[in-house]
Structure 1
Amino acid sequence: MEYYEDIEVGDVTEHGSRTVTKAEIVEFATQYDPQSFHVDEEAAAESPYGGLIASGWHTASLCMRMLVDSVLGERAGMGALGVDELRWYRPVRPGDTLSIETEVLEKRPSESDPSRGHVRSRVTGYNQDGEEVISWVGLGLVARREAGE
């Protein structure tokens, strides 16, 4: 288990990859973001994107899943206080393979709760060509070790 004390500012970690399918793009968008360029191939072809693209929220969700499956599943995480600087740089299309990396930007002990610390990290998602598709800065809460552990 990784605790607050194990995390170092400047740490950069890569977190797997995932290929996005047309079916999941349409399924997610149909339920949560039913804009035509996410759900209708013909309309998407006529859009400025020239074809079907994933919702940015879907892209963020896919990246979050990769984080949970890698680092967050092994971290003494206590949730998060929010996300800053969320950006979508380029569309994610069917067949794209996403990968992500995190960089620890800052950490500090909690002033209100000595059992946890705050960790600011930049999450960046890339497509198979190494192009940025998404990024955000998250403020995570991580448990501190008990005295004597």
Structure 2
Amino acid sequence: MPWFEDYQVGQVRRFGRYEVTAQGVVDFARRYDPQPFHLSEEGGRAHPYFGGLTASGWHVTAMAMAMLVAEMPEGGDPAALGASGIDELRWLKPVKPGDLLSLETEVIDARLSEGRPGLGRLQVRTTVLRQGDEPVCRFTALVMVRTRPS
């Protein structure tokens, strides 16, 4: 389990595997983003940009979160305290059923908390990749991590 001290600015990791399915796209859309291009192939074809059934950007972000959590040790990571927010969320390209998603994370900043001893703050840029190399979504998470116990 990595503690704050185990992270280095510039550290890059690639991991995860999430296959996008038509049923998953439609199920998510019905519940959270019921726009026509997320609900059916026909609705997506009627859209001038998508050209077919397309996952909601919120769904893509949720799939990224599922891959991040799957990378944690079973039962959770005692050093990880969650995130205090997301900056610069961008949906770069449409995600379609049949796409295989993975993640690349890069630590872009690491600082000890000035007001809370035992706590570090990381800025981690996460890029969702389609078929292993094409960026489709990018965001920067503000992650809180415990420092190594003395």
Q: TM-score, normalised by structure 1?
A: 0.94
Q: How does 1:111-122 map to 2 (within 5 A)?
A: 111-122=114-125
Q: How does 1:24-43 map to 2 (within 5 A)?
A: 24-43=24-43
**Aligned to 1:66, what secondary structure does the other structure show?**
helix
| Alignment partner of 1:54 is 2:55 | yes
Is the 2:101–2:128 contact (alpha carbons within 8 Å) kept by the matching residues of 1?
yes
In the alignment, structure 2 segments of 5+ residues that lack a partner are none
Distance 1:16 1:101, change over 3 A: same
CA drift at 1:71 = 4.7
Per the alignment, residue 23 of structure 1 pairs with: 23
Distance in 2, matches of 1:68 and 1:42, equals 33
CA drift at 1:87 = 0.3
Is the 2:110–2:120 contact (alpha carbons within 8 Å) kept by the matching residues of 1?
yes
1:56-107: CA deviations, max 9, x gaps? 0000000111011115744611111101010001000000000111000010
In the alignment, structure 1 segments of 5+ residues that lack a partner are none
| Alignment partner of 1:140 is 2:150 | no
How much is the aligned-residue C-alpha RMSD, in angstroms? 1.4
CA drift at 1:40 = 2.2
Is the 2:83–2:141 contact (alpha carbons within 8 Å) kept by the matching residues of 1?
yes
What is the aligned residue count?
Answer: 147
Q: Which amino acid aligns with 1:37?
A: F
Is the 1:5–1:144 contact (alpha carbons within 8 Å) kept by the matching residues of 2?
yes
The sequence identity of aligned pairs, in percent, is: 46
Instruction: Please list every run of at least 4 consecutive aligned residues from structure 1 whose deviation after the TM superposition is greater than 4 angstroms.
Output: 71-75
| Alignment partner of 1:86 is 2:78 | no
Distance in 2, matches of 1:8 and 1:130, equals 23
